Each structure stands twice: as C-alpha cells, then as structure tokens.
Amino acid sequence: MLCCIVCSIILSIVLCHSVLLIRTDEYITSFPYNVLVNKQKCVDVIGHVLFFTQARALTAQTAETDAIRFLVGTQSLKFDNQIHIIDFDDENNIISKNVLLHQVGEIWHIGASPADKAVLSTCYNKTSDSRVVSCAAVWRMPSDWETGSHESPDDSTHNPQTLELLCHLDDSTHGNTTCVLWEPMGDGKRVISLADNHALLWDLQESSTQATVSSTASLEGKGQLKFTSGKWSPHHNCSQLTTANDTAIRGWDLRTMSQMYCIENAHGQLVRDLDFNPNRQYYLASCGDDCKVKFWDVRNVQEPVKTLEEHSHWVWSVRYNHSHDQLVLTASSDSRLILSNMVSISSEPFGHLVDDEELSEGEDNHQDDKGKEPLKDSVVSTYEEHEDSVYAVEWSSADPWLFASLSYDGRLVINRVPRALKYGILL
Amino acid sequence: MDGEADGSVEVSEDSGPGRRRRVHGMLKLYYGLNEEGKSVEQPESLDPCDINGPHFDPEFYLNKLRRECSLAELMDQETCMVKQIRSLDSDMQTLVYENYNKFISATDTIRKMKNDFKKMEDEMDCLSANMAAITDFSARISGTLQDQHTQITKLSGVHTLLRKLQFLFELPARLNKCLELQAYSQAVSTHRRARCVLLQYSHLPSFKGIQDDCHAIMDKLAQELRQKFRDGGSSSKDLSECVELLLQLNEPAEELCDKFLSHARSRLESDLQGLEAEIRPYPSASAVKDASAHRSSSSAAVGSLTDTSPKTSTLPSPTSNTDILEFIDRGCNEFVSSLCLVITSYQELFINHAQAGELASKNIPQMANSKLHAFVNDLAARYFSLVERRIQEEKGVADNSLLVRALDRFHRRLQAVAKLLPGSAVPNKGTEIVMRAATERVKQYLSALQSFYMDSLTDVRQALATPRLSVTGASVGGSGAVSVRDAPNSLPELLSSLSASILNQIKSVLASVHLFTAKDITFSNKPYFKGEFCSQGVRESLVVSFIKFVCQSSRQFCESAGDKGGSTPPALLLLLSRLCLDYETSTISYILTLTDEQFLVQHHSPVTPVTTLCAEARETAQKLLNHYVKVGFHLQCSYCGKTDISRVVEDTTSIDVQVGLLYEEGVRKAHSSDSSKRTFSVYSSSRQQARYAASYTPSAPMDTNLLSNIHKLFSERIDIFSSVEFNKVSVITGIIKISLKTFLECVRLRTFGRYGLQQIQVDCHYLQMYLWRFVSDENLVHFMLDEIVGSSAHRCLDPAPMEQSVIEVICERG
C-alpha cells in the first residue's frame, strides 16, 4: 500500500517536471512547465528536461520528419519504467512530454521504427527473483497517446497509457540482447538484434506481431565474446552490418551473414558505439573507453583516418549529422557533449564547391584536397550542461540542426548547432 | 832706365827673398807680363812723387823735397838714395851674369833646329813618291784579277746548289733510313725543310719523282705514327711527341684531338674500371645477403658508437674490400692524376702550341678546348658516379674521420683540375658530391642516433622488466595490476643513465660531424659548409630532428600503448615523461647552445627556436604523464569487485612511490585531522541523501530532487581528467580520480544484490580510509566515493545498506 502511494507521488513528479532551463549569461532560472524562450535572443541551448529516474536510452523518432520528437527510456530497478516522448515545438520554443508505461523492466536501449511512427523497440532488463535477464521487444504506442497530456498533465499522471506489445525478439537459445537495430530507411519489417555473440536478423510479419529469425551470424573465438553495440549501414542497399565487441570492430555482409572486415584493436579499450557517415559509404566513426573517437575508412582498416581525443573519459556515443556529415556529436562520461566539425573527412570538404556526384568517391576528394585549401577540422563547441555521465546523444530526424543528449541523472538537453556554423555550412 | 834705377834704389833696402821677387817682377814688367795683375797699385803710382811709380817726375820730386825737408833730412835722403842706387846696380850685374849662358844655349838650339827640319822635308818627299808607286801597282793587280773572282763566286754558287740538289736526291733514302731507325722527329724536320722546295719545283719531272717518293715515305711515316698513336702502349710523353709530329705533318687537328682523347679515354677508363671493380663485389648476386649484412653492419656501427671500435674491425665490411680512404686515394692517384696529365699534355699540344703556331688561325684552340671540356666532363661524371656509389656504401658511422679525410682528399685533388681547366664545372660537381655526402652522413648520424635512442629505450624496458620477473612469483596472485613497485630504486638511475648516454651520444656525434668543418679540410671554407651545413644540416636536420624524434617516439608510446595498455610499461611512460621534462628545462637549450658554439651557426635561414622545441618537449612530457595517468591505473578496472580492494591500495601506494622517485611532491590541501574516520555511508552524505533518499523516504521527494540538481549545478564540477601537473600529488590524484570514475561507471553497468551493495560499501570505506593521503584534495575522493555508493545503491535490487559501524569494524580488521 505504501508502495503504491510512493509510486503515484513519484509519477506525478515525473510528469510534472518537464523543466525548461534557460541559460543566459548571468544566471540560470528554472521554471516548472513550459516557458517561452525570448525569441529575440539567440539561444543555442534550448532546454533541459529532467526525469526523476536515471536514463540511458534515447532515440529520435525516426519516422517522424515533421515534429521534433525524441523518445527516452528510463532505467530504474524499483519503479515502473517509462517511455518519455519529448516534443519540441520549434515555433514557440515549447517542450512538451508524454509518458507511456513500459512495465517489463529497465530500458537499456531504444530504437524507433523508420517506417511507422508508432512502433519502437526496446532492450530491457527483466528482474525476477533477483535474477536479471536481458530481453528485447517491439512495441506499439497507443494511438491516442497524444491526447490529454498537454492540457492536463495532472490528469494523465493518474492514467498513463501503456505500450502495446507487438512481439518479443527473444529466442530461447539466445539471451541477453544488448541492442536492436532497425533497417535504416526500410519498411520497418526487418530488425537485427545483438545477443551475446550472435547477430540475429528478424523478419517482422503480420503488422510486426510475429517475429522470426531469418538468419544469424555469430562471433567465433576464444573466451566469452559479446557484442557491445552495432550499426546497420544505410549504404549498399542496407546489406551491411557493423558490430563492436571488446576492442574490435567487425563488418558483416547480411546477405551471407559472413564477416567482411575486422578492425582488431580499433580502440585501446572497449568500443562503445559506432556510426556510419550517411553520405560516404565507407566512412565509419567509432568511440570507446580509451577516450578517443576514431574515423575509419573500412577499405583500409590499418589506420584510422582521423582520431579525436577531446574527451577525458569513456566516450559512449558518436553520431553523424544526418544531412551534414561534417557535424559529429560525441557524448562521454566526463559529462561533456562535444560537437565537432570534421570537414576534412566529410562529403563536403570544401563547403559547397564539390558536386554531389563526386562525393561518394573518396579518392577523388583526396586528390582535390591538394588543389583547394581544405577547411580545418575543429571542435565547434563543448556542451557542459550535464552534471553526470552523458550516455546518449541523437540528432533530431526532423530538424538537422537540432540534437538531444541524455545524461544518467535523467536530464535531457536539447541544443542547436551554433548559428554561425549553420550559416557557414549553408551559405 | 832711370825709373828702374830709382826703383831699385828703394827696393835694395828690402831683405833677400822679397827683393828677389821684386826683381822678377821688374823683369816681367819689362817683358810686358803682368804678374798676378798688380794693377791695383796703379792709382798710387800716379803720384809723381812716387819714386817707383811710372809717372815719377824727378824735378817735381826734388822740388818737393827741397821745399819740405830740412837740410838734415835732405842729407839723409841723399845717403839713402845713394845706398839704394848702389844695391840696384849690383843686382843688375848679378842678373846679367846669371842669364848670359842661357841666352847662348838658346841661340844654339834654334840654329840646330833649323838644320834638322831641312832633312825631314827631304824624307817626306821620298815617302810620297813611294806611295804613289804602290797605288799604281795595286790598281794594276786588281785589274788583272777581276775575271777570276767572278768565276769563283759563280762556282761556289753552283756548289751550294748542287749540295742542295744532292740533299733532295738523297732525301728519300734519308727518310727511309730515319724511318728504319724510328727517328721520326728527324725525318719530319728533314722533310719539312724540303717540302716547300719540292712543292715549288714539282713541275719538273725529276723533282716530281722525289716529291712522290717523299710523300710515299712520309705517308708511311704518318701511318706508323698513327699506328703507334693507336697502339697506345707508349707513354704519354711519346704520345705527345707523336701528336706533335702528326700536327707538323698537317694531320687534321680535330681528328687528332679526337684520337688523342679517345686514347686517353681508354686509359682513364681502365682506371675507372679498376675503381669500379672495387665497388663491384656487392650489387648483383649478394643483394639479399648484403641487405642483411648491411643491417648488421649498421647496428654494429651503432653499437660501436658506445663501445670502442674493435667491434667494427672484427666485422668484415661486406660492401667492399677497401675502405673509402683507400678507394679515394686510388681514385685520386690513378684517375685524377692521369686526368690532369692528359689535360696538361692536351693543352700543351693543342691549345698553347697551336696558339703559337700557324694553327691558331683555324680556330683550333677553341675547338680543342670545347672537346677537352666535353671529355673531362664526361669522364669526371663517371668518376663522380663511382665515387658517389662508394660513398653511399659508406653506411657505418663508426669512423667519420676516415670519410672526411677521403672527401677532403677527393676535393683537394679536384682543385688541381680546377686550376688546369678554369671554366670547368668539375670542381663544382665535386663540391656538390662532398655536400651530398656530408648531408647524407648527417642523415645517417640522425638515424644512428635514433636507433641508439630506441636501443637504449629497449634496454630500459628490459631493465624495467627484469626485476619484475624475479618477483613474478610473488605478484602472480594479484592480477597484472601494474607491478611497478618491483623496480622502484632503479628508476632515477635508469633515467640519469639514459639521459647521460643520450647526451654523450649526441656529443660524440657532434664531434664527428664537426670534422666536416675543421679548418684543415679544404671544403670547410665553402659557403655551404660555413652556413647551410651548420644551420640546416647539423642544427636542424641532426640536432633538432633528433629532439623532435625523441618527442615524437615518446608520443607514439601514448598512441600504441592504448592497445590493451600492456605494451608499454607504465614506468617507462613515467620515465620518458621525466626525460622530456628535463629536456624542456635544460637539456635542449644545452644541446643547442653546444651546437651553436661548436658550429658557429649563423642563422641565415630561419631555424627552429629553442622555445619551440622546449614547448614540444613539454607537451610531450605532459602527454606522457597524462597517458601514464590514463593507462597506469586502468587495470584497476578490476576494482569492480574482482580484485581484493586492499590490493588497489597497495598498488596505489607503489605507484605513489614510483612517481615520487621521479617527480616532486607537489602541493596538497590540508587534511582534516580525522580524514580516515570521516563517516561515510549511503545516508550520511548530504547530497547523496538528497538524491537517493527519495528511494527510501516518501517525504517531499520533489523538493529534494530539484534541490539536488540545482545544488549540483552550482557545485564545482569535477574534471575527471584534467591535465596533470608535473608533481607527484597531481599525478596520483589524476590516477585516483580516473580510477574511481571507472569504478563508478562499472558499478552503474551492473545490477547488485543486497550483498553486492554491502561489499561496495565496505570497499568504498576502505578506500576512503587509505586514499585520502595520496590526493591533493580529499573531498574529491569523498565525493566520488559517495557517488559510487549512491550509484550502487541505485543499482541494487534489494537495497539494504550495511550499518556504518559494521563497515568500520570490518575495515578496521582489514
């Protein structure tokens, strides 16, 4: 009984406190609820959202290209976990939040279907009798989640809607799913889950209510190998997968489920995250516990193309901007978020001078490099709004200049690319 | 006569000699001889009263006397006068007597002369008559001999002509004879004498025959000369004689030049081949073997830099049989000297000689000169390529003086060529070779230094590893968590020996390189060696490059050491960091000053300033230390429960000792007296309480949550990894910070049961008790440990924290 009371109070807090912090030069103010930002002022830090519990999982709602919307999964062993849907109204600078219950366990990873706005996948830990099992599932948001919460958050506190389970991505033979990857730009019918040392390619059928393993690949080798993360390449007709385990990065051909390349010792320590350059098919970014961010050309894996050493602790996440691939975000447990402008290895090394057709050919650009003065790579800005380790960062799928980062203390910060840089890239 | 008498009266009074003179004077006066021009007295004598004067007037004188004088005086006057007259008379008499004989003899002589002249006149007449007769005779004789004389002249003319003709007729035979005796020069000079005559009279059949014969013979002679020339067995003196003769035989000079040069070339080429043969042994078959051998030789050379030379001497040089000095010597003595000889004789023959002779008009000197230049350039180029090949083989850096001496000799000998051939590019090319060799040598020294450095690093690594092996048995149980404590004492010694040996090495290399600019070396005064070599070559590409290399290779340890952290022993990182720091503070400026002094570097071109290098060294030191911090304790990942926590404290202590050996203590904030006793638990920490108590207490969680977050906004951010300073406390603090942060992240990734949380509590308390003494700010440790316990509480399925007192008891027991 007591427990129930506690829960309800906590939930009310969770839903009430979408706090918008506006940093001006002199002071930081906090207001409950939605507060308009002074539109005359150029504010790059748009806002903070505080959750009560810890959170690690963040994704943009990939299928949504009109509204700026992020999904956050909370991580709590004690309470019902939730999916928070964060909407940002760019026009009015209003952040709003909706909550869906995810009762099965704490969320470690979240992925949004590229085809259906309402469909998402989570990897979660289920605890039963002090045993912890990692599972993955595909969910559908209730169709009417948007209603109500805006006007009366207090009401919805008492009645949060629950996610509708579509199917489990669990195989009795494979446990401990670490992440679920949707086929990029696909029809939302194919997902890959990484479980221990196996990569499972699932086909979702009958409106995603049935999932069958179509093929698997597994990591062979000494010791207990375990995938830590992976990324489905958007290039080559989505036929490639890149995974990280320990210090190695491996590329897989999904048609044959065989390994294509392997970057042994890509990082000095554990590789935490990967991302593909959306415009240059062979370029890949990785980050890890050696505090470095490395950029690879997978055709030549002996040496990284570039290495960034800006962070002072483990780098947990690296993300290319979806349309301007010189912009790279990295999040680290040193509580910092760094936006880098990696012009020299982007598809636009000279700004707009290069034709789009040439962009895919890496060699051409290298030759051109000598002719024109390439722009310098630089760190655009370091965001220090977070007070705890930042585990996830995502670009918005709707606005290419907007991104959100999530730290362990449950703070989501939405930022914009600095205006000067934005115009520098556009003009 | 009167006057005379009167005069003598007065004069007689005078004494002997004076009177005599007076007498002479009188005589002279008489004969009209004016003795010594006594006309001075004349005016006085106008006085008529002067008894000796010419105008003496006795009457006037008497009257005057009578008028003026008394009787007595007149009497006296009279007696005086009488006395004078008497003496004068006697004088007169003696004079006449004295001169009488003389008059007589004079008269006799005159008479005799008159007679003699008459006789002489007669004899003269007789002589002239005789002469006339002789003239007549001789005229008659020459008239009769005229005819015969002309005949004789004619005959003698015919005779010489005949002699000449005979010479001509005998010419073929004589030439033949000369040919037989091989007296070529005589033959040529003989023929030369006859040539124009024969040419002149060639219309006469007989002469024509002779001429043809001569031509035939001379052709043969020329043939023989050419043959001899071609055979080339003869000495250069013979050869030049040949050429001279051929030139005199109107052989075309150009052809001769070519022949001469080609002949010289063949000889010089044999020299070159001899030289080449010395290099030859290596290239084709033994290429692989050589490559390996070369490596061994270079490493041997490196080795020999430290110990003395015997090591190299035992290793036979694989590249060639002779050392470079011998090779250059041979090149100089054989090739260069014969080249000089060729040049001299050629110039003598074709240029100087031709300028004097009739050949000058045909532009021969210019032609010859250009040919010579081409020839010399061509051969010199080949020679240079050989020398360069040989120099390139000179890879061992053991004995630089040999190379320098060889280069010096090489350069010196080329100066001779320069003198002989003023416009030639050869000496410049030679200098270029020397320059290249020097630059190459500097490069070799750099690589030798680099490999020496790497070798010493390997030694250091081994030294670091050896003691560890001995203790492995002891530390085997406790994971690989940086067993640095094993070789602590040797660290400063290693550092000092490393830096000392590097410094010595640099010094010895500088000394070796300095040979290039020694005063007695001919090329050292070239502008290149004075300026560019010193500044660009030695300073920049040797010293600066080496320092940069040290920094760079040290930095590479940071890169590569990332792989599992095990490849570079952390102690080495620490050591290198200290080394770089030492470099920054003193060594770099010392080395550069040393270089500048030794080489008197004048900075014409921009050089790397000391500050840049220092900055680089410092940056490297910083990076290494940062990396040490990052890597050094990373194995503490095993913090996450797998390791006994006391082990961690032990390791921290040992690292503390290790760092303390190389770095100073540094500043530390004052400790509170009871740091180790500080109460510490999930509940006691105020912040923690604010953040996590909500989990346990239902009261007003919203406020505390907000409060905690706002509090956190204002609280000092902990930079998990800020750059460390060069002191012990900063380093240890950095290590502890990063280790605790790692601990925190590990905790957050796990899910604990009840006892897991309690274990963490105990561990944290234990760390709390011991770690504070290492760090600069103990609050930092407290804060981070709070965070760890808080996180673990949060990650606990069944959060039942242990009582603080129980924890303390457990920790006290150890």
CB contact under 8 A, B562 and A292: yes
pLDDT at B45: 57
Least confident of B76-80, B105-109, B798-802: B798-802
| Chain B residue whose CA is closest to A29 | B710
> Span B746-774, mean pLDDT?
82
Place of tokens 């034709």: A355
Whether residue B697 lies within 8 A of chain A, CB to CB, comes out as no
Q: Is the residue at A246 inside a domain?
A: no
CB contact under 8 A, A314 and B634: no
Q: Is B631 exposed, middle or buried (0-12, 13-18, 19+ CB in 10 A)?
A: buried
At position B63, the amino acid (one-letter code) is N
Whether residue A313 lies within 8 A of chain B, CB to CB, comes out as yes
pLDDT at A356: 45
pLDDT at B397: 59
Q: Can you give the length of chain A in residues? A: 427
Least confident of A308-317, B189-198, B237-246, B266-275: B237-246
> Span B790-811, mean pLDDT?
82
CB contact under 8 A, A290 and B706: no
Inter-chain Cβ pairs, chain A and chain B, closer than 8 A:
85
Whether residue B706 lies within 8 A of chain A, CB to CB, comes out as yes
Least confident of B270-274, B348-352, B361-365, B579-583: B361-365
| Chain B residue whose CA is closest to A316 | B745
Based on C-alpha coordinates, what's the Rg of chain A?
Answer: 21
pLDDT at A96: 83
Query: B489-530 pLDDT, tens per residue?
Result: 567 788 888 888 888 888 888 887 777 777 777 777 777 777
Answer yes or no: is pLDDT of B160 > 50: yes
Based on C-alpha coordinates, what's the Rg of chain B?
Answer: 64
Report the residue from B563, B695, B753 with minimal CB separation from A78.
B695
Please list every residue in chain B whose beta carbon sits closer than 8 Å to the beta carbon of residue A409.
709, 712
CB contact under 8 A, A268 and B565: yes
pLDDT at B31: 63
Please list every residue in chain B whose beta carbon sits closer than 8 Å to the beta carbon of residue A268.
561-565
The domain spans of chain B are 444-464+490-629, 643-665+704-813
How close B711 comes to chain A (CA, Å)? 10
Between residues B535 and B449, the one the model is more confident about: B449
Q: What predicted TM-score, i.e. pTM, was given to this entire model? A: 0.62
Whether residue B751 lies within 8 A of chain A, CB to CB, comes out as yes
CB contact under 8 A, A290 and B713: no
Report the residue from A127, A268, A408 with minimal CB separation from B797.
A127
pLDDT at B159: 93
pLDDT at B632: 58
Residue A140: CATH number of its domain: 2.130.10.10
Query: B114-126 pLDDT, tens per residue?
Result: 888 888 888 888 9
CA atoms of A176 and A108, how far apart (whole Å): 11
> Span B581-589, mean pLDDT?
81
How close B630 comes to chain A (CA, Å)? 8
pLDDT at B27: 62
| Chain A residue whose CA is closest to B752 | A130
CA atoms of B316 and B294, how far apart (whole Å): 11
Count of domains for chain A = 1
pLDDT at B214: 78
Answer yes or no: is pLDDT of B82 > 90: yes
Low-confidence ranges of chain A (pLDDT < 50): 1-43, 148-157, 354-371
Residue of A1, A309, A387, A406 to mutate, interface with B, max B Cβ within 10 Å: A387
Whether residue A125 lies within 8 A of chain B, CB to CB, comes out as yes
CA atoms of A40 and B685, how far apart (whole Å): 43
Q: Is the residue at A24 inside a domain?
A: no
List b or e across A344-366, with b for residues whose CB sees 16 or more CB atoms inside 10 angstroms.
bbbbbbbeeebeeeebeebeebe
How close A5 comes to chain B (CA, Å)? 8
Answer yes or no: is pLDDT of B465 > 80: no
pLDDT at A329: 92
Give the three-class secondary structure for B394: coil
| Chain A residue whose CA is closest to B740 | A313
Whether residue A209 lies within 8 A of chain B, CB to CB, comes out as no
- pLDDT winner (highest mean) among B81-90, B94-103, B420-429: B81-90
Answer yes or no: is pLDDT of B33 > 60: no
Report the residue from B630, B712, B722 with minimal CB separation from A387.
B712
Structural tokens at position A263: 């970057």
pLDDT at A169: 84
CB contact under 8 A, B738 and A313: yes
Q: Is the residue at A104 inside a domain?
A: yes
Please list every residue in chain B whose beta carbon sits closer than 8 Å to the beta carbon of residue A290.
562, 630
How many CB atoms are located within 10 Å of the residue A408 CB?
Answer: 24
pLDDT at B158: 92
Whether residue B705 lies within 8 A of chain A, CB to CB, comes out as yes
| Chain B residue whose CA is closest to A21 | B710
CB contact under 8 A, A291 and B794: no
> Span B397-409, mean pLDDT?
74
Answer yes or no: is pLDDT of B309 > 60: no
- pLDDT winner (highest mean) among B95-109, B241-255, B613-627, B737-751: B95-109
CA atoms of B301 and B693, how far apart (whole Å): 71
Report the residue from A2, A52, A291 with minimal CB separation from B705.
A52
Please list every residue in chain B whose beta carbon sits closer than 8 Å to the beta carbon of residue A270.
none
- The answer to whether the complex's ipTM is over 0.85 is no
State the residue range of the domain holding A66. 52-227
Which residues of chain A from 349 to 408 reach within 8 Å of chain B, CB to CB? 384, 387, 389, 408
Query: B14-28 pLDDT, tens per residue?
Result: 445 555 566 666 666
Helix B545-560, helix B610-632: angle, nearest 10: 20
Please list every residue in chain A whose beta carbon sits closer than 8 Å to the beta carbon of residue B701.
9-10, 13, 52
